[in-house]
Amino acid sequence: MSIEDERCPFCGTPNPDAIRHRQDMKRFSHEFETTKDSVIKESLSAAQRTARFTIIGALVLAILITLFIFSKSWEISYWLETKAASDNYGKYSAMLDQYEADGDYLAFCSLYANSPGLSSSDSFRSYYYVYNAASSYRSALLELMKIMEPDPYSSPETEIGYLSDSVGRFYEVLSEEHYSFYEEDGCYSDTHMAAVEDMKVQLERCLQVYLNISDEEISQFDTMSKAQKQVIIERSLTENE
């Protein structure tokens, strides 16, 4: 007779062990189910807690990453622009070369200075010297143009000061030392040097015509100090008035 048999298979006497066993099993089964439910409930709760804290952690991390990107937005934009300019080197260099060949130095200067990433990209370093000259050339020409225009709010002293500064800067670029690292980049190539010389001819011609500066004086502009140039410009403008 086994523990599962409720009665003796031979004499039919009830098996007390089987009754107790059944009651025990019932109790154990109930306890098992209760424990199982409790374990499942507990593990679900733990999983939910873990999920929620993971979501909170992920959100905090995402906010920190966004704040980091926000604080570095200028650097990111700068990098993106520089990369875009380098990627479009062919297009931009063709435009710069064309402007340089046409003697359109204002357009050259504007493209180099204003097109995003051009002045910061290493790809365009060979244009640096000619841009430097074109930038001062542009300022000097625009100042000279402004002097011709009526402006009741601007004093002649201020205009003369701006023009003298711009002209002075142009000649400073012309006389600056030729650095070996720019030499390696091709900044002083024959084409670029010819363009800078052409700017000098154009600027001196405009200064002579619009300010009545003599040939002798303009030929000495190369070696004159900024103050000497300012005196000549000031005198010319006063005489013209």
Kindly list the residues in this chain that would bind other proteins in the complex (CB under 8 A): 45-46, 48-49, 52-53, 55-56, 59-60, 62-63, 66-67, 69-70, 73-74, 76-77, 80-81, 106-107, 109-111, 113-116, 141-142, 145-146, 148-151, 202, 205-206, 208-210
Q: Which two three-digit tokens encode residue 1?
A: 């007779």
CA-to-CA separations, 141 to 130, 156, 222, in angstroms, rounded: 16, 16, 17
Q: Report the alpha-carbon distance of residue 132 to residue 138 in Å, rounded.
A: 10
> Is the Cβ of residue 78 or residue 182 nearer to other proteins in the bound state?
78
Residue 90: CB minimum distance to other proteins, A: 16
Do residues 163 and 144 make contact, with C-beta atoms less than 8 angstroms apart? Answer: yes
CA atoms within 13 A on the CB side of 28: 6
Residue 160: CB minimum distance to other proteins, A: 16
> Is the Cβ of residue 70 or residue 181 nearer to other proteins in the bound state?
70
DSSP per position, 82-129 = HHHHHHTHHHHHHHHHHHHHHT-HHHHHHHHHHSTTTTT-GGGGGGHH
Of residues 101, 117, 110, the one with CA closest to residue 137? 110
Residues 6+ apart with CB under 8 A from 163: 140, 143, 144, 147, 233
Distance of CA 3 to the CA centre of its chain: 84
> Is the Cβ of residue 35 or residue 66 nearer to other proteins in the bound state?
66
Distance of CA 51 to the CA centre of its chain: 39
> Is the Cβ of residue 38 or residue 66 nearer to other proteins in the bound state?
66
> Is the Cβ of residue 8 or residue 113 nearer to other proteins in the bound state?
113
Q: For 7, phi and psi rounded to 5 degrees?
A: -130, 160
Residue 97: CB minimum distance to other proteins, A: 15
N-terminal to C-terminal alpha carbon distance within the chain: 136
Residue 82: CB minimum distance to other proteins, A: 12
Do residues 167 and 140 make contact, with C-beta atoms less than 8 angstroms apart? Answer: yes
Residue 107: CB minimum distance to other proteins, A: 6
Residue 35: CB minimum distance to other proteins, A: 19
Residue 227: CB minimum distance to other proteins, A: 25
> Is the Cβ of residue 111 or residue 233 nearer to other proteins in the bound state?
111
> Is the Cβ of residue 17 or residue 165 nearer to other proteins in the bound state?
165
